[in-house]
Amino acid sequence: MTAVWQEVRRQLLNVIKTAHFMNPAGQEVYFDINGDMPNQLDIQNFQFFLNGTSRIAKVGIFRSWAPDEQQIQIDTTAILWTAGAIEVPHAVCSESCGTGYRKATVKRQPICCFDCILCSEGKISNQTDSNDCITCPVDEWPTYEQDKCIPKTIEFLSYKEELGASLATVSVLFTALTASVLCVFIKFRDTPVIKANNRDLSYLLLLGLFLCFLCSLLFIGRPERVTCLIRQFAFGVIFTFSVSCVMAKTITVIVAFTASKPSSSMKKWVGPKTPSLLIVLCSLGQVVICVAWLFILPPFPSKNMKIKLGKIIVECQEGSSIAFSCMLGYMGLLAVLCLVIAFLARKLPDTFNEAQMITTSMFIFLSVWTSFIPAYLSTQGKYMVAVEVFAILASGAGLLCSIFLPKCYIVLLRPEKNTRKHITGKANTSAK
């Protein structure tokens, strides 16, 4: 039975497709290949006016047989919207979300109602009415409008910025000052003031301070693998060498004074070998610490993207914080020993009054590095590096100014005091 009905329907469809006639109203009637009757419809607009009148206006036509893009033709200028408006009303109850925002549905409201929410940090939206925001790559950051990603700013202690340039300038100035003091000591090496305080150790200490000030320049500029490896090594070894020289000068003062007493057993320690051996042994301890550091877990350059939003902090990771602490601790231990020894020797006769200057210099040195530790731990990025550079410059300047500038003052500006009588204190005795 079903097959019979299908056959009837097929035959009826064929008859309908071939039908073509004029109806009593004078309209042409026919069907297309799909069995649909082609037609043309008027599109009408019900227009209501503020004075209470209304009308129906033809604003377009629909032709079913025309190509898809030509089936509907509307005269938009002839349309009158609600309450006399001539602009097309919004089809949604919310305005479109611009770039940098995403759509968020409103609870218990139609889907066409939504809130526009600013994209969260690190995300963007580069098209209107976006449902989700896009996360920027790790080395990029959104613009202020959050409509596109741009490369993050790279930050390090640079020579081109005021902070880096200022520290570099101070470093060069102190380097030049140290070189000038060394030249003064060499030129006036045979005068009583220079000879009284062990010229050879003074030369070594000035050389160490000269390298210390130059060493601070390794901390400025973009961190590279080589600079990260050598800057802490150079800083630790050179500063330890300088502190060892200061300690050697102090011990030399004590040995010389003690050996001047009759039947003293310290006479065998008088001479250049004792301070040289002390400097080598003290410096060797720091060398062992730094070499072990470099072999076990050396410093390396890294890009820190978590400290500051939108910035890449290029820095040297210390590798091993324990090794860094050991390096500072060893240097601090030598400085404390030097301070104690110099403090005990401060009241020796005027011939050996350099112990007072060493006490002052070591007190400044330890004060700077004691303040450095909390300041270093409380800062990040380039300011952490700046704190270390400042500590290097300040402690080196303390040693230079406390130990050597008073001697340069006498040599250059008060030559009348650069005599053996003034050094030994006999000038004051004879004046009485």
User: Domains plus CATH for the chain?
Assistant: 33-89 (no CATH), 101-151 (no CATH), 162-431 (1.20.1070.10)
| Residue 35 confidence (pLDDT) above 90 | no
Mean pLDDT in residue range 11-40: 70
pLDDT at 88: 66
CA distance 382 to 67: 68
> For 221-254, how does the pLDDT look when each residue is reduced to its tens digit (9 = 90+)?
999 999 888 998 999 999 999 999 988 887 777 7
| Residue 284 confidence (pLDDT) above 90 | yes
Query: Are the C-beta atoms of 16 and 30 separated by less than 8 Å?
Result: no
Mean pLDDT in residue range 356-366: 83
| Residue 269 confidence (pLDDT) above 60 | no
CA distance 282 to 300: 27
Mean pLDDT in residue range 131-137: 87
| Residue 260 confidence (pLDDT) above 60 | no
* Bridge partners for 141 per DSSP: 150
Q: What is the DSSP string of 59-114?
A: EEEEETTS-GGGSEEE-GGG---GGG--SPPPSSSSPPP-TTEEEEEPTTS-TT-E
Backbone angles phi, psi at 61, to 5 degrees: -135, 160
Residues 6+ apart with CB under 8 A from 126: 99, 134, 147, 148
CA distance 41 to 210: 98
pLDDT at 330: 93
The two three-digit tokens of residue 380, written as one number? 């990040």
Residue carrying structure tokens 């250049």: 272
> For 175-197, how does the pLDDT look when each residue is reduced to its tens digit (9 = 90+)?
999 999 999 999 988 888 887 77
pLDDT at 115: 81
Mapped onto helix, strand or coil, the DSSP state of residue 272 is coil
Smallest CA-to-CA distance from 205 within 250, 153, 173 is with 250
Mean pLDDT in residue range 305-326: 86
Between 286 and 87, the higher pLDDT residue: 286
| Residue 12 confidence (pLDDT) above 50 | yes
Mean pLDDT in residue range 371-377: 84
Between 265 and 59, the higher pLDDT residue: 59
Mapped onto helix, strand or coil, the DSSP state of residue 174 is helix
pLDDT at 89: 64
Backbone angles phi, psi at 359, to 5 degrees: -60, -45
CA distance 267 to 273: 12
CA distance 254 to 242: 19
> Per mean pLDDT, which range of 274-283, 351-360, 397-406 is the poorest?
351-360
pLDDT class of 75 with cuts at 50, 70, 90:
confident
Mean pLDDT in residue range 191-210: 86
pLDDT class of 382 with cuts at 50, 70, 90:
confident
Predicted TM-score (pTM) of the model is 0.71
Query: Are the C-beta atoms of 298 and 275 separated by less than 8 Å?
Result: no
Residues 6+ apart with CB under 8 A from 316: 223, 227, 228, 231, 232, 299, 300, 301, 302, 385
